Amino acid sequence: MKKHNFSAGPSILPDVAYQNAAKAILDFNGTGLSILSISHRTKDFEDVLNSAQALMRELLNIPENYHIYFVGGGASTQFFHIPANFLGKKAGYVNTGVWTKKAIKEAKLYGEVEVVASSEDRNFCYIPKNFEIPTDIDYLYICTNNTIYGTEYKSDIDSPVPVIADMSSDILSRPIDVSKYAVIYGGAQKNLAPAGVSFVIIRDDMLQKVVRPLPTMVNVNTHVENNSMFNTPPVFPIFVMNETLKWIKSIGGLEAMYKINLEKAQILYDEIERNSLFRPTVDQPDRSLMNICFVMAEGKEELAADFLKFATERGMVGIKGHRLVGGFRASCYNALPKESVEALVACMQEFEQLHK
């Protein structure tokens, strides 16, 4: 039976990335060595690293005054790296869920945090809008896509202060204007690579804004100056990232990727709206293309466990909602084929017919 991988992360990656990674595990680039045991100081791997940086720059149209580096530790490490480097007195955070709350907690260790906007009043089912951005903060922090609640920013923020964004779960899913951001970072295990590597895109001027002496590995300048090689980088995840970036370029880049993602999301959201057994949980303008959350319709809540079992038996993997919100979550990351979304829709329709 074919499996349809809707897992929120680590998530589905392109078949070509799996295939080339499998080959490289046995013999990397004709070296006779496995990518799992290759020295990161070899030219073969440096070529991979440089290629990944160049492809990311090309696909995102990253201006020349930005640096890209890769580092371990996941987005959760960046939760404290960001304020350690840049929070002098006060920073502004937009609270849109679990991940921004975790980032706020870490930031408070370094200075004052002003929550300039929040959607907690309605259990994070929308993205705050039309809020005033203070001009006396060191930076404004956002998370552009919220995997647990299924909300997503649909446009780049205009801000009088530097914007720092966690884009772990929607990076390279759509075009963005990188010049609107001072720092973009994320864990790569959604749209780019297996778990183990994070990416950081940082504007030149921010390298001069480090506000305190820091341990070497925490200081952003360390990783820029050493081109991700101050210590051993996550070699295998970077290899897979490079393969994924090549795949995105091969299908037409971010414009093509965005079109595909819009189509997949529309198919599933249309069915959630139509189907008498289900309802969406997020305000329409802010619904994520990456993490589509829904619950049983009012009065049908007792069918939740039955539907999960029904869907699982038909090859749907990872659709159970996060434990904090319940319900269901279909993560439709870049590499998820449209056929998987159509299979889930067919499953929902079949379940509806059984419970009319």
Report yes or no: 107 and 138 within 8 Å, Cβ to Cβ: no
Report yes or no: 222 and 216 within 8 Å, Cβ to Cβ: yes
The Cα–Cα gap between 44 and 261 comes to 33
Proportion of the chain in helix, strand, coil states, percent, rounded to 5: 40, 15, 45
Neighbours of 325 (CB within 10 A): 19
The Cα–Cα gap between 197 and 71 comes to 6
47, containing H or E segment:
helix 43-60
The Cα–Cα gap between 309 and 302 comes to 13
Q: DSSP characters for 256-287?
A: HHHHHHHHHHHHHHHHHHH-TTEEE-S-GGGB
Which residues are part of the catalytic machinery? 99, 166, 190
The Cα–Cα gap between 137 and 161 comes to 7
